[in-house]
Structure 1
Amino acid sequence: MPASTRRDLVRGVLAGGAVLGLGGRAGAAAALGGKQAPGFYRTRLGTCEITILNDGARSFPMPDRFVRNIPRDEALGAAQAAYMPPGQVTVPFNPTLINTGSKLILIDTGNGQVQGAPVGRLTANLAAAGIEPEDIDLVLLSHLHPDHTNGLKTADGALTFPKAEIRAAAPDWSFWMSDATMAQAADPVTQAYFANTRRVLGDLRDRIGTFAWGEEVAPGITALAAPGHTPGHTAFAVASGSDRLLVQSDVTNIPAFFLQHPDWHVMYDYDADQAQATRHRFYDMAAAEKALVVGYHFPFPSLGHVERDGPGYRLVPIAWSAAL
């Protein structure tokens, strides 16, 4: 191409860019959006509708014993491999809402409002999904850790879901609401959990019912024993027609750590050995069934399938679908 032709071509491109606002003074700068899209995702399960609701996520410097039974550098390597912020670990929070056609059932309630924290988004995302707190018929608590229970109350201490029946797993309620057991708690993390149950749930003792493992807590929803993370930690099986969803709650924390490495022990597990055994049992079942799994601490929209992968497992996330 002759030099004169090249010069003419470049001039034409630059002139076109100026007209389109790509250069020069002809275009105005676009304002930054500044906000993320609402965090909810829907899918169908037989005749049920499943909505995953994002309550936010926390990134924080990895504690020395975040994984109790491996060196911190190895855990940091897993975080780096998952592209988490340098030196930090990121934990998402995603409650599950099940619309059976006759009832709206919420499994876990998120962190509640925490001043200045990137969590507590459940009610805003419910509203974005077209659901008001008064619409919820039943709240099921998988266990009594703060990130699963504190959303029961608003910032002023009122009930977030005023018309809902609230139920917790009987063994977890018995453990965490026992003053005698609380007096025996030795480590600071467990002591803080006991203190939180008194602060958030103490005045709800007559309001919260319990359920047993193996019980059908609502039509098509069965409570599954999944102890270890807490003494009464519960997962749920949701069945509609031939479809089945496993709500794993906290069988594992973030999958880049404890799904890929099910023998690693997260600092939040009350009985680490029991939690390890539960992970293997639960994920062997999920992999054998090829069941859809939702994980409270999986990356949003926290739905996928679990497959065996050497000594551990891998998460195969669902493909995002714009249609139900």
Structure 2
Amino acid sequence: MAGTSASALGATLHSGQAAAAAPPAANEQASGFYRYRVGEFQVTVVTDGVNTYPIPEGFVTNVPRNEVGAALAAAYLDGEKISVPYSPIVVNTGSRLVVFDTGTGEANFAASKGAGGQFHRNLQASGLKQADVDTVVISHFHGDHVNGLLTADGKPAFPNAEILVPRAEWAFWMDDGEMSRASKGRMEGLFRNNRRVFDALGRKVTPYEWDREVVPGITAVGTPGHSPGHTSYVIASGGAKVFVQSDVTNVPVLFARNPGWHLSFDQDPVMAEATRRRVYDMLSAERMKVQGFHYPFPALAHVEKSGNGYREIPVPWSPVV
């Protein structure tokens, strides 16, 4: 009798549990933003998402594709695919709200099925409004940095902001002679895209120089090679500093650890390598934190010398700002 009663009870409990269906599995992540302080400044990292695609031949121009795949696999990543994150930042200085680079653009959200083009959605989720941004600083004119200057319907995404651009970058991409000499394919497409974006803004931009503050407390640093006017920044407040490296490297497991690898997107790969080594020697010597546009979110790390290259060490997540 005892055995029979136990079996009956178990069946009753089992059927009761089965009747309470589990909620459907979620198919979206939480909104992607993360905050930290640099002295009196507050930095909000706002992800634009990740682009994942099979490693193309020539992704690294001076290394065979299988060696690139092996480096990814050694980092416990898919050795057949490359995943490139996009991590724009917003700096609140107390008197200015400053966006640094703008991601791949709202139109890319639908095109990528939500994997990219997330910047404006996540910006809103973070409590920051596009209309409250008074300054947008662009590091260089590749699509994943400038396309977010426009809304999906081609309107200015930051209607009240002054758009600051590197003088050397503006001079190159707005030069009709340079455009006429552009090689077919990617370079030709970049010229067309930059004209599309900046013409939609009426070309209302303010060029800035290297080695000067773009806003008080934030200095532009020339880091050319990836593009002619490629720029990084030092954020400094209250004795604290962070180096915003833009695209000095692409994903760090490849290009920080192997600074001599030449990314196909680097316009002058020899200059880009020299810049990379100079910047990373400085970062490791000064123990300065680095904010990397293509580092894994939230994209804040230390770097140290390791063998013939460098090793990135993510800054631990903090539950408080």
Question: Normalised by the shorter chain, which TM-score bucket?
Answer: over 0.9
- TM-score, normalised via structure 1 length: 0.92
- 2:115 matched to 1:116? no
| C-alpha distance in 2 between matches for 1:267 and 1:244 | 31
Change (3 A) 1:19 1:51: farther
**1:254 corresponds to which of 227, 244, 251:** 251
Structure 2 match to 1:3 = none
Matching residue's letter, 1:316:
I
Question: CA 1:84 to 1:16, structure 2 compared with 1: closer, same or farther past 3 Å?
Answer: farther
Number of the residue aligned with 2:55: 62
Q: Deviations over 1:107-133 (max 9, x none)?
A: 000010223212111111111110110
Q: Indicate the larger mover: 273-282 or 202-211.
A: 202-211
Q: CA deviation at 1:17?
A: 7.9
Q: How far did residue 86 of structure 1 move?
A: 4.8
Contact 1:18 1:27 in 2 (8 A): no
Cα distance in 2 between the residues matched to 1:317 and 1:306: 9
Specify whether residues 44 and 19 from structure 1 end up closer, same or farther in structure 2 by C-alpha distance, changes over 3 A only. farther
User: Mapping of 1:6-155 within 5 angstroms?
Assistant: 18=14, 21=17, 25-112=18-105, 113-114=107-108, 115-117=110-112, 118-155=115-152
Match for residue 294 of structure 1 among 285, 291, 294:
291
Q: TM-score, normalised by structure 2?
A: 0.93
Q: Return 5+ residue gaps in structure 1 as ranges.
A: 1-6
2:31 aligned counterpart, secondary structure: coil
- Name the CA distance, whole Å, in 1 between partners of 2:253 and 2:19: 47
Q: Match of 2:188, SS?
A: helix
Q: Which amino acid aligns with 1:62?
A: I
CA offsets per residue over residues 157-187 of structure 1, 9 Å max, x none?
A: 1100000000100001101111101111125
One-letter code aligned to 2:182: A
The alpha-carbon deviation at position 204 of structure 1 amounts to 3.1
Distance 2:317 2:229 in 1: 33
Residue by residue, what CA displacement relative to the aligned partner does 1:50-85 show, whole Å, maximum 9, x if unpaired?
100000111011110000001111011122223434
1:229 equivalent in structure 2: 226
Q: What CA deviation, in whole Å up to 9, does each residue of 1:164-223 have, x standing for no partner?
A: 000100001101111101111125221111111111112435411110000111010000
Number of corresponding residues: 315
CA RMSD of aligned residues (A): 2.1
Aligned residue type for 1:162: P
Tell me the secondary structure at the aligned position of residue 65 of structure 1. coil
Shift of 1:16: 11
Please name the residue that 1:239 is paired with: 236
